[in-house]
Structure 1
Amino acid sequence: MHVARVGFAPVKGTRHPAYDRVTLAEHGPVGDRAFCLVDVAGRRVLKTVQNPSLVAIRSAWDGAVLSMVLPSGEVACSAPEPTGEELVCDYWGRPATLALLAGPHAALASSYLGADVRLAAAPPGQVVYGAPVTLVSLASLRSLADSLGRPELAREPARFRPTIVVDDLEPWAEESWVGRTVRLGDATVRVNALVPRCAVIDLDPVTGVPSAPVLKALADRPAPAADGTPELPFGVDAFVVAPGAVRPGDPVLVD
Protein backbone atom coordinates (compact mmCIF):
# COMPACT_ATOMS: atom_id res chain seq x y z
CA MET A 1 0.00 0.00 0.00
CA HIS A 2 1.09 3.55 -0.54
CA VAL A 3 -0.06 7.15 -0.09
CA ALA A 4 -1.76 8.46 -3.24
CA ARG A 5 -2.60 12.01 -2.14
CA VAL A 6 -2.21 14.36 0.82
CA GLY A 7 -4.26 17.50 1.29
CA PHE A 8 -5.92 20.01 3.60
CA ALA A 9 -7.55 23.45 3.58
CA PRO A 10 -5.85 26.27 5.55
CA VAL A 11 -9.20 28.07 5.94
CA LYS A 12 -11.96 25.77 7.11
CA GLY A 13 -14.48 24.96 4.40
CA THR A 14 -12.50 26.36 1.48
CA ARG A 15 -11.23 24.27 -1.42
CA HIS A 16 -9.27 21.16 -0.44
CA PRO A 17 -6.03 21.15 -2.50
CA ALA A 18 -3.37 18.45 -2.80
CA TYR A 19 0.22 19.05 -1.64
CA ASP A 20 3.57 17.37 -2.18
CA ARG A 21 3.78 16.70 1.56
CA VAL A 22 1.91 17.18 4.79
CA THR A 23 3.49 17.27 8.24
CA LEU A 24 1.55 15.44 10.93
CA ALA A 25 2.24 17.06 14.31
CA GLU A 26 0.93 16.02 17.72
CA HIS A 27 -2.44 17.69 17.19
CA GLY A 28 -2.84 16.94 13.50
CA PRO A 29 -1.74 18.21 10.07
CA VAL A 30 0.26 21.44 10.31
CA GLY A 31 -1.73 24.24 8.68
CA ASP A 32 -4.97 22.30 8.38
CA ARG A 33 -7.92 24.52 9.33
CA ALA A 34 -5.52 26.98 10.94
CA PHE A 35 -8.14 29.63 10.19
CA CYS A 36 -11.90 29.82 9.99
CA LEU A 37 -14.56 32.36 9.14
CA VAL A 38 -16.94 33.25 11.94
CA ASP A 39 -20.26 34.99 12.46
CA VAL A 40 -19.30 37.02 15.51
CA ALA A 41 -22.84 38.01 16.51
CA GLY A 42 -23.99 34.39 16.35
CA ARG A 43 -20.75 33.03 17.85
CA ARG A 44 -20.74 30.56 15.00
CA VAL A 45 -18.00 28.98 12.92
CA LEU A 46 -19.03 28.84 9.26
CA LYS A 47 -19.39 25.22 8.12
CA THR A 48 -19.49 23.98 4.53
CA VAL A 49 -22.77 22.16 5.02
CA GLN A 50 -24.51 25.51 5.67
CA ASN A 51 -22.26 27.54 3.36
CA PRO A 52 -21.42 25.37 0.31
CA SER A 53 -20.05 28.33 -1.66
CA LEU A 54 -17.02 28.31 0.66
CA VAL A 55 -15.71 25.38 -1.41
CA ALA A 56 -15.11 27.69 -4.39
CA ILE A 57 -12.68 29.89 -2.41
CA ARG A 58 -9.00 28.95 -2.76
CA SER A 59 -6.78 29.52 0.26
CA ALA A 60 -3.04 29.13 0.84
CA TRP A 61 -0.91 29.66 3.93
CA ASP A 62 2.89 29.61 4.08
CA GLY A 63 3.14 30.19 7.82
CA ALA A 64 3.31 33.96 7.40
CA VAL A 65 1.06 35.11 4.56
CA LEU A 66 -2.51 33.92 3.99
CA SER A 67 -4.10 34.27 0.56
CA MET A 68 -7.74 33.83 -0.34
CA VAL A 69 -8.92 33.86 -3.96
CA LEU A 70 -12.57 34.12 -5.03
CA PRO A 71 -13.95 32.45 -8.17
CA SER A 72 -14.00 35.95 -9.72
CA GLY A 73 -10.24 36.21 -9.29
CA GLU A 74 -10.44 38.79 -6.49
CA VAL A 75 -7.62 38.22 -4.00
CA ALA A 76 -6.80 39.03 -0.39
CA CYS A 77 -3.16 38.31 0.41
CA SER A 78 -1.42 39.47 3.58
CA ALA A 79 -0.19 38.39 6.97
CA PRO A 80 -3.21 38.09 9.30
CA GLU A 81 -2.93 40.59 12.15
CA PRO A 82 -3.88 39.59 15.72
CA THR A 83 -6.28 42.03 17.34
CA GLY A 84 -6.16 40.64 20.87
CA GLU A 85 -9.87 39.77 20.64
CA GLU A 86 -11.06 36.27 21.47
CA LEU A 87 -14.34 34.64 20.59
CA VAL A 88 -15.66 31.42 22.12
CA CYS A 89 -17.89 29.52 19.70
CA ASP A 90 -19.83 26.31 20.13
CA TYR A 91 -18.42 23.79 17.68
CA TRP A 92 -20.33 20.49 17.54
CA GLY A 93 -21.15 20.74 21.25
CA ARG A 94 -17.73 21.80 22.51
CA PRO A 95 -16.25 25.28 23.03
CA ALA A 96 -13.70 26.56 20.53
CA THR A 97 -11.65 29.57 21.61
CA LEU A 98 -10.66 31.54 18.51
CA ALA A 99 -8.43 34.60 18.02
CA LEU A 100 -10.02 37.25 15.81
CA LEU A 101 -7.76 38.73 13.14
CA ALA A 102 -7.51 41.93 11.12
CA GLY A 103 -6.64 42.17 7.44
CA PRO A 104 -8.36 42.18 4.04
CA HIS A 105 -9.61 38.59 4.18
CA ALA A 106 -12.79 39.27 6.15
CA ALA A 107 -13.96 42.01 3.79
CA LEU A 108 -13.34 39.80 0.76
CA ALA A 109 -15.20 36.84 2.28
CA SER A 110 -18.06 39.06 3.49
CA SER A 111 -18.58 40.52 0.02
CA TYR A 112 -18.62 37.03 -1.48
CA LEU A 113 -20.91 35.43 1.11
CA GLY A 114 -23.25 38.41 1.44
CA ALA A 115 -22.91 38.43 5.23
CA ASP A 116 -20.55 39.99 7.73
CA VAL A 117 -17.88 37.52 8.79
CA ARG A 118 -14.51 37.75 10.50
CA LEU A 119 -11.36 35.71 10.01
CA ALA A 120 -10.13 33.90 13.12
CA ALA A 121 -7.10 31.79 14.01
CA ALA A 122 -8.02 28.36 15.36
CA PRO A 123 -5.73 26.35 17.64
CA PRO A 124 -4.93 22.90 16.19
CA GLY A 125 -7.94 20.59 16.34
CA GLN A 126 -10.41 23.24 17.55
CA VAL A 127 -12.58 23.33 14.41
CA VAL A 128 -12.28 19.66 13.48
CA TYR A 129 -15.32 17.39 13.85
CA GLY A 130 -13.56 14.26 15.09
CA ALA A 131 -9.96 13.05 15.17
CA PRO A 132 -7.68 15.42 13.20
CA VAL A 133 -6.38 13.06 10.48
CA THR A 134 -8.77 11.49 7.97
CA LEU A 135 -7.99 8.63 5.61
CA VAL A 136 -9.92 7.25 2.65
CA SER A 137 -8.94 4.65 0.08
CA LEU A 138 -9.05 4.98 -3.68
CA ALA A 139 -10.59 1.51 -3.85
CA SER A 140 -13.56 2.58 -1.71
CA LEU A 141 -13.92 5.75 -3.76
CA ARG A 142 -13.91 3.76 -7.01
CA SER A 143 -16.50 1.35 -5.61
CA LEU A 144 -18.76 4.24 -4.66
CA ALA A 145 -18.27 5.89 -8.06
CA ASP A 146 -19.08 2.63 -9.85
CA SER A 147 -22.28 2.21 -7.83
CA LEU A 148 -23.40 5.59 -9.19
CA GLY A 149 -22.31 4.83 -12.73
CA ARG A 150 -20.06 7.89 -12.48
CA PRO A 151 -16.46 6.58 -12.74
CA GLU A 152 -15.12 10.15 -12.99
CA LEU A 153 -16.00 10.66 -9.32
CA ALA A 154 -13.11 8.35 -8.43
CA ARG A 155 -10.82 11.18 -9.51
CA GLU A 156 -12.35 13.54 -6.95
CA PRO A 157 -11.05 12.47 -3.53
CA ALA A 158 -11.22 16.15 -2.46
CA ARG A 159 -15.01 15.70 -2.37
CA PHE A 160 -14.38 13.87 0.95
CA ARG A 161 -11.69 16.32 2.15
CA PRO A 162 -9.28 13.62 3.42
CA THR A 163 -5.85 14.30 4.86
CA ILE A 164 -4.50 11.07 3.34
CA VAL A 165 -5.68 9.00 0.38
CA VAL A 166 -4.37 5.43 0.32
CA ASP A 167 -4.04 3.22 -2.77
CA ASP A 168 -3.78 -0.55 -3.22
CA LEU A 169 -6.57 -1.62 -0.87
CA GLU A 170 -9.68 -3.68 -1.31
CA PRO A 171 -12.83 -1.54 -1.17
CA TRP A 172 -13.79 -0.59 2.40
CA ALA A 173 -10.73 -2.35 3.86
CA GLU A 174 -9.79 0.78 5.82
CA GLU A 175 -12.88 0.28 8.00
CA SER A 176 -11.06 -2.65 9.63
CA TRP A 177 -8.31 -0.29 10.82
CA VAL A 178 -10.30 1.17 13.73
CA GLY A 179 -8.23 0.72 16.89
CA ARG A 180 -5.05 -0.13 14.95
CA THR A 181 -1.90 1.87 14.28
CA VAL A 182 -0.92 2.81 10.75
CA ARG A 183 2.50 3.95 9.57
CA LEU A 184 2.27 6.67 6.91
CA GLY A 185 5.68 7.69 5.62
CA ASP A 186 7.54 9.15 8.62
CA ALA A 187 4.43 9.40 10.81
CA THR A 188 2.27 6.95 12.74
CA VAL A 189 -1.41 7.34 13.55
CA ARG A 190 -3.92 5.38 15.60
CA VAL A 191 -7.23 4.99 13.82
CA ASN A 192 -10.09 6.23 15.96
CA ALA A 193 -13.43 5.71 14.21
CA LEU A 194 -15.39 5.61 10.99
CA VAL A 195 -16.24 9.07 9.67
CA PRO A 196 -19.95 9.96 9.41
CA ARG A 197 -20.83 11.88 6.25
CA CYS A 198 -23.32 14.61 5.36
CA ALA A 199 -24.54 16.42 2.23
CA VAL A 200 -21.14 18.11 1.73
CA ILE A 201 -20.01 15.05 -0.25
CA ASP A 202 -22.68 15.80 -2.87
CA LEU A 203 -20.91 19.08 -3.72
CA ASP A 204 -18.51 19.52 -6.61
CA PRO A 205 -15.11 19.91 -4.87
CA VAL A 206 -14.18 22.90 -7.06
CA THR A 207 -17.41 24.88 -7.38
CA GLY A 208 -19.39 23.84 -4.31
CA VAL A 209 -22.45 23.21 -6.51
CA PRO A 210 -24.36 19.92 -5.91
CA SER A 211 -23.22 17.56 -8.66
CA ALA A 212 -23.80 13.93 -7.64
CA PRO A 213 -26.04 12.01 -5.18
CA VAL A 214 -23.07 10.53 -3.33
CA LEU A 215 -24.76 10.58 0.08
CA LYS A 216 -27.64 8.51 -1.31
CA ALA A 217 -25.15 5.99 -2.70
CA LEU A 218 -23.70 5.62 0.79
CA ALA A 219 -27.20 5.15 2.17
CA ASP A 220 -27.80 2.34 -0.34
CA ARG A 221 -24.60 0.57 0.65
CA PRO A 222 -24.85 -2.20 3.30
CA ALA A 223 -23.66 -0.75 6.58
CA PRO A 224 -20.40 -2.07 8.08
CA ALA A 225 -21.02 -4.76 10.67
CA ALA A 226 -19.60 -3.00 13.71
CA ASP A 227 -20.91 -1.73 17.03
CA GLY A 228 -21.22 2.02 17.20
CA THR A 229 -21.07 2.45 13.42
CA PRO A 230 -22.10 6.02 12.53
CA GLU A 231 -24.81 6.63 9.99
CA LEU A 232 -23.46 6.76 6.42
CA PRO A 233 -19.72 6.35 7.12
CA PHE A 234 -16.95 6.80 4.59
CA GLY A 235 -13.27 6.62 5.54
CA VAL A 236 -11.73 6.73 9.00
CA ASP A 237 -10.21 9.33 11.26
CA ALA A 238 -7.10 9.02 13.41
CA PHE A 239 -4.93 10.61 16.09
CA VAL A 240 -1.21 11.17 15.59
CA VAL A 241 0.98 9.01 17.83
CA ALA A 242 4.34 9.70 16.13
CA PRO A 243 4.73 12.99 14.21
CA GLY A 244 6.40 13.13 10.81
CA ALA A 245 6.09 14.01 7.15
CA VAL A 246 3.81 12.13 4.73
CA ARG A 247 4.24 12.36 0.95
CA PRO A 248 2.52 10.80 -2.06
CA GLY A 249 4.30 7.53 -2.82
CA ASP A 250 5.18 6.86 0.83
CA PRO A 251 4.49 3.31 2.06
CA VAL A 252 1.51 2.56 4.29
CA LEU A 253 1.93 -0.17 6.91
CA VAL A 254 -0.88 -1.38 9.19
CA ASP A 255 -0.01 -3.13 12.46
Structure 2
Amino acid sequence: MTGLSHAGHQDRVHPLKGGRHVDHESVTLSAEGPVGDRAFCLLDPAVDRCLRTVEHPTLLATRALWDGTVLRAELPGRTVVGEPVATGDVREVDYWGRTATVELVHGPWAAAYSAHLGREVVLGRAAPGQVVFGASVTIVTDGSLARLAREVGAPVDGARLRATFQLDDAGARPFAEDEWVGRRLRLGAAEVEVTGLVGRCAVIDLDPASGVRDLPVLKALAALRAETGGVDLGLYAEVVAPALVRTGDPASVAPLG
Protein backbone atom coordinates (compact mmCIF):
# COMPACT_ATOMS: atom_id res chain seq x y z
CA MET A 1 0.00 0.00 0.00
CA THR A 2 1.22 3.53 -0.79
CA GLY A 3 1.41 5.67 2.35
CA LEU A 4 -0.49 8.97 2.30
CA SER A 5 -1.93 11.33 4.85
CA HIS A 6 -4.39 14.13 5.05
CA ALA A 7 -3.19 15.33 8.44
CA GLY A 8 -3.32 19.09 8.77
CA HIS A 9 -6.02 19.46 6.14
CA GLN A 10 -9.72 19.97 6.68
CA ASP A 11 -12.15 17.57 5.10
CA ARG A 12 -14.66 19.64 3.14
CA VAL A 13 -18.33 19.59 2.24
CA HIS A 14 -20.74 22.27 1.07
CA PRO A 15 -24.35 21.73 2.17
CA LEU A 16 -25.64 24.25 -0.39
CA LYS A 17 -24.68 23.51 -3.98
CA GLY A 18 -22.57 26.38 -5.28
CA GLY A 19 -21.88 27.93 -1.89
CA ARG A 20 -18.57 28.16 -0.06
CA HIS A 21 -17.03 24.92 1.14
CA VAL A 22 -17.31 24.25 4.85
CA ASP A 23 -14.28 22.71 6.56
CA HIS A 24 -14.86 19.85 9.00
CA GLU A 25 -12.62 17.82 11.28
CA SER A 26 -14.49 14.73 10.11
CA VAL A 27 -16.81 13.61 7.32
CA THR A 28 -19.14 10.64 7.41
CA LEU A 29 -19.05 8.72 4.15
CA SER A 30 -22.27 6.82 3.46
CA ALA A 31 -22.78 4.56 0.47
CA GLU A 32 -24.19 7.61 -1.36
CA GLY A 33 -21.28 9.91 -0.47
CA PRO A 34 -20.43 12.51 2.20
CA VAL A 35 -23.40 12.97 4.54
CA GLY A 36 -24.89 16.46 4.22
CA ASP A 37 -22.93 17.37 1.10
CA ARG A 38 -25.02 19.28 -1.48
CA ALA A 39 -28.18 18.60 0.47
CA PHE A 40 -29.70 21.84 -0.88
CA CYS A 41 -29.57 23.82 -4.10
CA LEU A 42 -30.89 27.12 -5.40
CA LEU A 43 -33.18 27.08 -8.41
CA ASP A 44 -34.28 29.54 -11.03
CA PRO A 45 -38.04 28.99 -10.70
CA ALA A 46 -38.80 30.38 -14.14
CA VAL A 47 -36.98 27.58 -15.92
CA ASP A 48 -36.50 24.97 -13.15
CA ARG A 49 -32.73 25.10 -13.46
CA CYS A 50 -30.12 24.61 -10.73
CA LEU A 51 -27.92 27.69 -10.30
CA ARG A 52 -24.28 27.31 -11.33
CA THR A 53 -21.42 28.89 -9.40
CA VAL A 54 -19.59 29.83 -12.59
CA GLU A 55 -22.59 31.98 -13.56
CA HIS A 56 -23.24 33.29 -10.03
CA PRO A 57 -19.79 33.61 -8.42
CA THR A 58 -21.04 35.66 -5.46
CA LEU A 59 -22.52 32.42 -4.10
CA LEU A 60 -18.99 31.80 -2.82
CA ALA A 61 -19.42 34.77 -0.47
CA THR A 62 -22.14 32.78 1.31
CA ARG A 63 -21.82 29.83 3.64
CA ALA A 64 -24.41 27.24 4.65
CA LEU A 65 -24.24 25.02 7.72
CA TRP A 66 -26.50 21.99 8.04
CA ASP A 67 -26.74 19.58 10.98
CA GLY A 68 -29.53 17.47 9.55
CA THR A 69 -32.23 19.54 11.25
CA VAL A 70 -31.28 23.24 11.22
CA LEU A 71 -30.02 25.10 8.15
CA ARG A 72 -27.97 28.22 8.84
CA ALA A 73 -27.09 30.45 5.90
CA GLU A 74 -24.51 33.18 6.37
CA LEU A 75 -24.66 35.90 3.70
CA PRO A 76 -22.89 39.26 3.62
CA GLY A 77 -24.63 41.39 6.24
CA ARG A 78 -27.28 38.80 7.04
CA THR A 79 -27.70 35.37 8.62
CA VAL A 80 -30.89 33.30 8.36
CA VAL A 81 -31.54 30.18 10.43
CA GLY A 82 -34.39 27.71 10.62
CA GLU A 83 -35.69 24.22 10.03
CA PRO A 84 -36.55 23.64 6.36
CA VAL A 85 -40.20 22.67 5.91
CA ALA A 86 -41.06 20.39 3.01
CA THR A 87 -43.68 21.85 0.65
CA GLY A 88 -44.54 18.71 -1.30
CA ASP A 89 -43.64 20.65 -4.45
CA VAL A 90 -41.28 18.22 -6.19
CA ARG A 91 -39.55 19.51 -9.31
CA GLU A 92 -37.65 17.82 -12.10
CA VAL A 93 -34.93 20.40 -12.74
CA ASP A 94 -32.03 20.84 -15.12
CA TYR A 95 -28.65 20.17 -13.54
CA TRP A 96 -25.83 20.58 -16.07
CA GLY A 97 -27.88 18.96 -18.81
CA ARG A 98 -29.35 16.11 -16.81
CA THR A 99 -32.53 15.89 -14.77
CA ALA A 100 -32.38 16.09 -10.98
CA THR A 101 -35.28 15.68 -8.57
CA VAL A 102 -35.59 18.26 -5.77
CA GLU A 103 -38.32 19.34 -3.37
CA LEU A 104 -38.90 23.00 -2.61
CA VAL A 105 -38.77 23.99 1.05
CA HIS A 106 -40.35 26.78 3.06
CA GLY A 107 -38.16 29.12 5.10
CA PRO A 108 -36.27 32.42 5.01
CA TRP A 109 -33.51 31.32 2.63
CA ALA A 110 -35.13 32.02 -0.74
CA ALA A 111 -35.72 35.68 0.12
CA ALA A 112 -32.21 36.09 1.55
CA TYR A 113 -30.47 34.54 -1.46
CA SER A 114 -32.74 36.39 -3.92
CA ALA A 115 -31.70 39.69 -2.32
CA HIS A 116 -28.04 38.68 -2.39
CA LEU A 117 -28.09 37.58 -6.04
CA GLY A 118 -30.41 40.29 -7.30
CA ARG A 119 -32.77 37.77 -8.88
CA GLU A 120 -35.54 35.46 -7.75
CA VAL A 121 -34.42 32.05 -6.56
CA VAL A 122 -36.04 29.27 -4.55
CA LEU A 123 -34.44 26.67 -2.29
CA GLY A 124 -34.73 22.98 -2.99
CA ARG A 125 -33.71 19.95 -0.98
CA ALA A 126 -32.02 17.19 -2.91
CA ALA A 127 -31.53 13.52 -2.18
CA PRO A 128 -27.89 12.34 -2.05
CA GLY A 129 -26.25 12.43 -5.46
CA GLN A 130 -28.97 14.43 -7.21
CA VAL A 131 -26.94 17.63 -7.63
CA VAL A 132 -23.46 16.11 -7.70
CA PHE A 133 -21.40 16.44 -10.87
CA GLY A 134 -19.30 13.37 -11.69
CA ALA A 135 -19.02 11.26 -8.53
CA SER A 136 -19.92 11.71 -4.88
CA VAL A 137 -16.32 12.05 -3.61
CA THR A 138 -13.49 14.15 -5.05
CA ILE A 139 -9.84 14.10 -4.05
CA VAL A 140 -6.86 16.39 -4.66
CA THR A 141 -3.24 16.09 -3.56
CA ASP A 142 -0.75 18.57 -2.15
CA GLY A 143 1.86 17.63 -4.74
CA SER A 144 -0.32 18.58 -7.69
CA LEU A 145 -1.55 21.74 -5.98
CA ALA A 146 2.05 22.79 -5.29
CA ARG A 147 3.01 22.27 -8.93
CA LEU A 148 -0.01 24.27 -10.05
CA ALA A 149 0.94 27.07 -7.66
CA ARG A 150 4.40 27.25 -9.20
CA GLU A 151 2.85 27.56 -12.65
CA VAL A 152 0.45 30.27 -11.46
CA GLY A 153 3.18 32.10 -9.54
CA ALA A 154 1.03 32.37 -6.42
CA PRO A 155 -0.37 30.04 -3.73
CA VAL A 156 -3.40 28.02 -4.83
CA ASP A 157 -5.79 27.35 -1.98
CA GLY A 158 -7.09 23.79 -2.14
CA ALA A 159 -10.58 25.15 -1.47
CA ARG A 160 -10.64 26.39 -5.08
CA LEU A 161 -10.84 22.78 -6.17
CA ARG A 162 -13.86 22.10 -3.92
CA ALA A 163 -12.67 18.57 -3.17
CA THR A 164 -13.97 16.36 -0.39
CA PHE A 165 -10.44 15.36 0.66
CA GLN A 166 -7.02 16.93 0.21
CA LEU A 167 -4.19 14.43 0.65
CA ASP A 168 -0.57 14.94 1.60
CA ASP A 169 1.14 12.68 -0.90
CA ALA A 170 4.56 12.81 0.77
CA GLY A 171 6.48 14.49 -2.03
CA ALA A 172 5.15 12.34 -4.86
CA ARG A 173 5.51 13.75 -8.35
CA PRO A 174 2.73 16.07 -9.48
CA PHE A 175 -0.32 14.34 -10.96
CA ALA A 176 0.89 10.93 -9.76
CA GLU A 177 -2.71 10.37 -8.62
CA ASP A 178 -3.73 10.03 -12.28
CA GLU A 179 -2.47 6.46 -11.97
CA TRP A 180 -4.97 5.67 -9.20
CA VAL A 181 -7.94 5.53 -11.58
CA GLY A 182 -9.57 2.10 -11.26
CA ARG A 183 -7.91 1.47 -7.91
CA ARG A 184 -9.20 1.61 -4.34
CA LEU A 185 -8.15 4.20 -1.81
CA ARG A 186 -8.51 3.69 1.92
CA LEU A 187 -9.24 6.79 4.00
CA GLY A 188 -9.12 5.83 7.65
CA ALA A 189 -11.78 3.14 8.04
CA ALA A 190 -13.53 4.07 4.78
CA GLU A 191 -12.72 2.91 1.28
CA VAL A 192 -13.46 4.52 -2.07
CA GLU A 193 -12.94 3.40 -5.66
CA VAL A 194 -11.39 5.96 -7.98
CA THR A 195 -13.49 6.26 -11.13
CA GLY A 196 -11.85 9.03 -13.14
CA LEU A 197 -10.17 12.42 -13.36
CA VAL A 198 -11.94 15.68 -12.56
CA GLY A 199 -12.15 18.07 -15.50
CA ARG A 200 -11.95 21.66 -14.32
CA CYS A 201 -13.77 24.84 -15.33
CA ALA A 202 -13.40 28.57 -14.70
CA VAL A 203 -14.66 28.25 -11.11
CA ILE A 204 -11.07 27.54 -10.05
CA ASP A 205 -10.14 31.10 -11.09
CA LEU A 206 -12.43 32.45 -8.35
CA ASP A 207 -11.32 33.30 -4.83
CA PRO A 208 -13.05 30.55 -2.78
CA ALA A 209 -14.25 32.95 -0.09
CA SER A 210 -15.45 35.90 -2.18
CA GLY A 211 -16.09 34.70 -5.72
CA VAL A 212 -13.81 37.40 -7.12
CA ARG A 213 -11.86 36.25 -10.20
CA ASP A 214 -8.29 36.80 -9.03
CA LEU A 215 -5.91 34.19 -10.50
CA PRO A 216 -5.54 32.55 -13.95
CA VAL A 217 -5.59 29.04 -12.46
CA LEU A 218 -7.43 27.35 -15.32
CA LYS A 219 -4.99 28.74 -17.91
CA ALA A 220 -2.04 27.53 -15.84
CA LEU A 221 -3.60 24.09 -15.46
CA ALA A 222 -4.19 23.86 -19.21
CA ALA A 223 -0.51 24.64 -19.80
CA LEU A 224 0.56 21.93 -17.37
CA ARG A 225 -1.79 19.39 -18.94
CA ALA A 226 -1.08 20.30 -22.57
CA GLU A 227 0.24 16.82 -23.33
CA THR A 228 -3.02 15.21 -22.23
CA GLY A 229 -5.22 17.71 -24.04
CA GLY A 230 -7.39 18.20 -20.96
CA VAL A 231 -7.67 20.38 -17.87
CA ASP A 232 -7.90 17.60 -15.31
CA LEU A 233 -6.89 17.95 -11.68
CA GLY A 234 -8.00 15.57 -8.96
CA LEU A 235 -10.02 12.40 -8.84
CA TYR A 236 -13.62 11.27 -8.76
CA ALA A 237 -14.42 8.36 -6.47
CA GLU A 238 -17.39 6.35 -5.22
CA VAL A 239 -17.75 4.97 -1.70
CA VAL A 240 -17.37 1.20 -1.39
CA ALA A 241 -16.89 0.95 2.40
CA PRO A 242 -18.76 3.66 4.37
CA ALA A 243 -17.23 5.02 7.59
CA LEU A 244 -16.36 8.18 9.48
CA VAL A 245 -13.20 9.84 8.10
CA ARG A 246 -11.31 12.23 10.37
CA THR A 247 -8.70 14.81 9.43
CA GLY A 248 -5.34 13.15 10.08
CA ASP A 249 -6.51 9.61 9.29
CA PRO A 250 -3.99 7.68 7.19
CA ALA A 251 -4.73 7.14 3.53
CA SER A 252 -3.38 4.41 1.29
CA VAL A 253 -3.77 3.23 -2.31
CA ALA A 254 -4.32 -0.44 -3.02
CA PRO A 255 -1.60 -1.98 -5.20
CA LEU A 256 -2.34 -2.96 -8.79
CA GLY A 257 -3.51 -6.49 -9.32
What range is the shorter-chain TM-score in? over 0.9
Q: What pairs with 1:234-249 in structure 2 (closer than 5 Å)? A: 234-249=233-248
Contact 1:135 1:235 in 2 (8 A): yes
- Write out aligned runs for 1:8-157 (5 A): 8-72=13-77, 74-150=78-154, 152-153=155-156, 156-157=157-158
What letter matches 2:54 in structure 1?
A: V
Structure 2: unaligned runs, 5 residues or longer: none
1:133-167 deviation digits (Å, cap 9, x = unpaired): 000001110110011111x32xx111110000000
Post-superposition offset of 1:212: 0.3
Aligned to 1:186: 189
Q: Deviations over 1:209-251 (max 9, x none)?
A: 00100000011113465xxx7x300101100001011111111
Q: Deviation digits for residues 1-37 of structure 1, max 9, x if unmatched?
A: 1123310100011111210000111111000000000
- Whether the 8 Å CA contact 2:225–2:231 is kept in 1: the answer is no
Q: Distance in 2 between matches of 1:178 and 1:46?
A: 30
Does structure 1 conserve the Cα–Cα contact (< 8 Å) formed by 2:15 and 2:38?
A: yes
Contact 1:174 1:235 in 2 (8 A): yes
Q: Which residue of 2 aligns with 1:168?
A: 169
1:181 Cα deviation after fit:
0.4
Between the aligned partners of 2:43 and 2:5, the Cα distance in structure 1 is: 37
Residue in 1 aligned with 2:200?
A: 197
Mapped to 2, the partners of 1:137 and 1:48 lie a distance apart of: 23
Cα separation, 2, equivalents of 1:64 and 1:188:
28
| CA distance in structure 2 between the aligned counterparts of 1:114 and 1:148, rounded to whole angstroms | 33
Compute the TM-score of the two structures, normalised by the length of structure 1: 0.94
CA distance in 2, matches of 1:221, 1:238: 23
RMSD: 1.2
Amino acid at match of 2:233: F
TM normalised by structure 2 equals 0.93
- Separation (CA, whole Å) in 1 of partners of 2:147 and 2:11: 20
Q: How many residues align?
A: 247
2:227 and 2:205 map into 1 onto residues whose CA distance is 21
% of aligned pairs identical?
50
Moved segments of 4+, more than 4 Å: none
Q: Which amino acid aligns with 2:65?
A: A
Letter in 2 for 1:205: P
Deviations 1:44-97 (A, max 9, x none): 00110111110100110011000111122x011000110110110122232101
Q: Does residue 1:5 correspond to 2:10, yes or no?
A: yes
Unaligned runs of 5+ in 1: none
Structure 1 residues 222 and 17, CA gap change in structure 2 (3 angstroms) = same
